[in-house]
Structure 1
């Protein structure tokens, strides 16, 4: 089971969940997305989690339609609660979507965003993400990943080493991925690595474009 890094948003039993990391990273992510997202169309967010990112980005990019998704029923309920409270016309109802499976309940998108999934899921989920993105995205469209990674030519921060060890202790199929390995898998699926952006707290944003 994937860990759920969130809390009850109101301290009670409501469906809204709060992921503390969202408040710390959402503005930095949005600043990069402003350069990488298309001007219009639907952004499919894979592994939306609590839904807080979806609400924030939908407000930041009103010309885009936001399609959240997640395989976890608790996450889907939280997304509905947050988006319902925001009452934003450009947030669609969330889809139950497991990136590792070939049956995605969506036919097309102008962009795909995936935040903090690659390291907290089996490698098959990342391979499925690229395969699904290849089916949905037109040539030139962006697939954007955010999270912690390791790189052969960049020293790994001690905090990331500790995090990686804790993930692998919980599930040997999890762990921080090497960007070169991720890029190779993307290439096999028809994507080229177009940009790499260092982010706060030893995270990265990776931009892949459909060939």
Structure 2
């Protein structure tokens, strides 16, 4: 077999994070008697993605994401009189209870677990990710769950991959591949570290970043040919 260790990103690769986030945000809006409209999540994502991009660049901490995200979001949608810190806590609690799988996720992970050592490698908040993983049918397939907030480094930083490799007793880089949907944190992070990287691109979005993955797939089951 070509590889020995397979690293899977979580959200957007195995888990339908957008669905979980919409549900958590809607329930939080209901709790605070706020009006939900069709464009609310779009406004939220604009704020959220910018903050996570800043986090991946090392510009802000996860604590700042927690405190700033809804403060900035409420400014955008002109909401006043809501405690943004408490709202964030309630949203994260709701989010931690949602773990919708993407199509083919369990099939490919089950198949992979019989042939390779597996880890989930995720940039995320431990208070959200740990409950989601512990309550997920995928948990039993993974040797390690590596969460950026718990180790102090985020993808694409090399320290994140150093930590991951140490967990697997420092395998040869040619024996490791990462699969993820984010061209920067997953693909560039993996390539810069010297391992193969497979871009999961279900929307078949145009790659305008100049980051060239080792492989590109739009369906998770396409991994079977790549990994073998």
Whichever structure has more helix as a proportion of its residues is 2
TM-score, normalised to structure 2's length?
0.39
Whichever structure has more strand as a proportion of its residues is 1
